[in-house]
Structure 1
Amino acid sequence: MANLAIPTVDFSPFFIDDDDQDGKNNAKEIIKQACSDYGFFQVVNHGIPRDLIKRALKLSQTFFAFPDEEKLKYSPGSAAPLPAGYNKQPEHSADKNEYLLMFPPQSTFNVLPTNPPEFREVLEELFTYFARTGEVIERILNDCLGLPPNFLKEYNNDRSWDFMAALRYFPATETENNGISEHEDGNCITFVIQDEVGGLEVRKDGDWIPVIPAQGTIVVNISDVIQVLSNNKFKSATHRVVRSKERSRHSFAFFYNLQGDKWVEPLPQFSEEIGEAPKYRGFLYKDYQTLRMRNKTHPPSKPEDVIHISHYAIST
């Protein structure tokens, strides 16, 4: 394996010392390079209280340790329009995990646990912090791409489509160690908090690079929407989770999302204005998400038939 590590960025100039312009510029340079090379970076001093992260992980461990009959009280039910609440991957699935999915705290879709006590409150607080951090990172990406001020914020101005998942990955067996199969995320930006078990890996130049857990750190990855808008200037990286044989892995993933009716295509700043051909044809975001969901509900028999963002790529 290549001797590589995911870059780590200190966000304190954006949250603690707003006058530290040199610190901000240094952070932006690291992020810009990381988004071009990896599509992944880690952030410290990001504004999410470390104690809140610890409490969220501990309560998540407690919840997922409950018997199935207790967890199933918080399943979405057949009438739910979205799978908010407790879900478990079917036995035949290639991925081996269970998860609790939530939308913004004010959403009526949520089916959140009242047991253990305080879990719902902590989930809602963590969600709110993630959304705030997402707005900061979106603004930084906007600057890194050289876009007009607030361009991405105005383009992606509906936060009701964001969602968060608390996840538990089961211990590996002798024949299976897959937690989540290799994939790219289809949204805009994803944030991950992982416990000390780790297992998250990013692929670069054919090698799998482990993202080493560190207390108080969140992982950020660029997703398909940003890759398309930037016409491949920024990378939506392939990643996976490899399960440990000894222990379950617990994590939180927050998906900074896009409203379904948004049109997605390479921005002119990265195509015709600089003499570059668009690398993707345009599409409605909800259409792409429908295709990705079909990957899960009706898995193709051949891996090459799985829909990725390359489905919209323009052949050259």
Structure 2
Amino acid sequence: MTSFSIPTVDLSPFFNEGAEDDSKKEAMEIIAKACSDHGFFQVTNHGLPLSLMTRALQLSKTFFEYPSEEKLKLSPLVGSFLPAGYNRQPEHLDEKSEEVLEEIFSHLSKTGLLMESIVNECLGLPPNLLKEYNDDRSCDFVVAFRYPPATDTDDKGISEHEDGNCITFVFQDEVGGLEVRKDGEWFPVTPTEGALVVNLGDVIQVLSNNKFKSATHRVVRQTGRSRYSYGFFHNLESDKWIEPLSHFTKEIGEPPKYRGFVYKEYQRLRMRNKTHPPTTPQDVIHITHFAIPT
């Protein structure tokens, strides 16, 4: 098996107005390469305090220790892997958890806008093009996940998939289990204290006409320990029209690799994957459903 680890990028130059352009340029070069290769990287000095991340993970562990009937009272989203979420309209969370999720949401909303602007520049797009295209933040949300320990007969966590949104942030505990696929092989994303894992979603892949990749990833459950993590989803408004941008098609003489579609149409198809699981992996709907045959 080939040795590989996803790159880690220090975002502090983007928060420091006096930072030299060279440090930003170096960071963007690393991000651009990761996005074009596999869509996965980690960031440090991203604006979310380590103390808040630690507190959030501890609250998640406490939440899952509650009896099932108590968890159901606190959140309608409770389940094996999707216990509680927040998108400025919290659903029956206890006051302490709601406060933490709101604070996480506030920090990561800002980091999401920053990362969107970095991706915009890495793609060579006009300033603020992605921000103006994706100017509705009402669909962003943060979710807490728990993956129970693997058993002798079942180590499934979340099977391989790509995220359907724009950009995802994940912070995880020390247990591990997150993996990314690159060149047909699976590689672990080793937990790094204080770091955020960043992966691009299908929306960016379509807009860039495959210049940047939507990261294929999965979670493999570990033996003997539960895994706790949080995901923040920098999303898109459901009625938004998606198609490859002209900067990557008409303006450079390249044919579009996807037909246009309304985002909620894709959301509906992805939801059907969960409510009516296909009998074979080949029947699972991916963004390739909208791909134009070559």
By how many angstroms is 1:75 displaced? 3.3
What is the aligned partner in structure 2 of residue 173 from structure 1? 151
What is the aligned partner in structure 2 of residue 88 from structure 1? 79
Where do residues 21-170 of structure 1 align in structure 2 (5 Å cutoff)?
Answer: 21-76=21-76, 86-89=77-80, 97-104=81-88, 107=89, 110-114=90-94, 118-170=96-148
Q: In structure 2, how many angstroms separate the alpha carbons of the residues matched to 1:35 and 1:169?
A: 27
- Report the TM-score when normalising by structure 1: 0.91
Is residue 253 from structure 1 mapped to residue 218 from structure 2 by the alignment? no
What is the aligned partner in structure 2 of residue 233 from structure 1? 211
- Residue by residue over 1:180-204, the C-alpha shift from the partner in whole angstroms, topping out at 9 and shown as x without a partner, is 0100000000100010001100001
By how many angstroms is 1:120 displaced? 1.6
The verdict on how the C-alpha distance between 1:132 and 1:112 changes in structure 2, with shifts beyond 3 A counting, is farther
By how many angstroms is 1:111 displaced? 1.2
By how many angstroms is 1:281 displaced? 0.3
Q: In structure 2, how many angstroms separate the alpha carbons of the residues matched to 1:163 and 1:304?
A: 29
Contact 1:35/1:235 (<8 A) preserved = yes
Equivalent residues, number: 294
Is residue 289 from structure 1 mapped to residue 267 from structure 2 by the alignment? yes
What is the aligned partner in structure 2 of residue 183 from structure 1? 161
By how many angstroms is 1:113 displaced? 2.4
- Report the TM-score when normalising by structure 2: 0.97
Is residue 199 from structure 1 mapped to residue 190 from structure 2 by the alignment? no
Q: In structure 1, how many angstroms separate the alpha carbons of the residues matched to 2:241 and 2:221?
A: 37
Unaligned runs of 5+ in 2: none
Is residue 304 from structure 1 mapped to residue 282 from structure 2 by the alignment? yes
Unaligned runs of 5+ in 1: 77-85, 90-96
By how many angstroms is 1:98 displaced? 4.1
What is the aligned partner in structure 2 of residue 262 from structure 1? 240
Q: In structure 1, how many angstroms separate the alpha carbons of the residues matched to 2:276 and 2:252?
A: 41
- Moved runs in structure 1, 4+ residues, more than 6 A? none
By how many angstroms is 1:302 displaced? 1.5
Aligned-partner residue type, residue 73 of structure 1: K
By how many angstroms is 1:272 displaced? 1.5
Of 56-65 and 132-141, deviating more is: 56-65
Q: In structure 1, how many angstroms separate the alpha carbons of the residues matched to 2:82 and 2:165?
A: 21
By how many angstroms is 1:101 displaced? 2.0
Of 157-166 and 16-25, deviating more is: 16-25
Contact 1:6/1:38 (<8 A) preserved = no
Contact 2:243/2:259 (<8 A) preserved = yes
Q: In structure 2, how many angstroms separate the alpha carbons of the residues matched to 1:177 and 1:112?
A: 31
The verdict on how the C-alpha distance between 1:223 and 1:18 changes in structure 2, with shifts beyond 3 A counting, is farther
CA RMSD of superposed structures (Å):
1.1
Identity within the alignment, % = 63
Contact 2:73/2:92 (<8 A) preserved = no
Aligned-partner residue type, residue 88 of structure 1: G
By how many angstroms is 1:112 displaced? 4.0
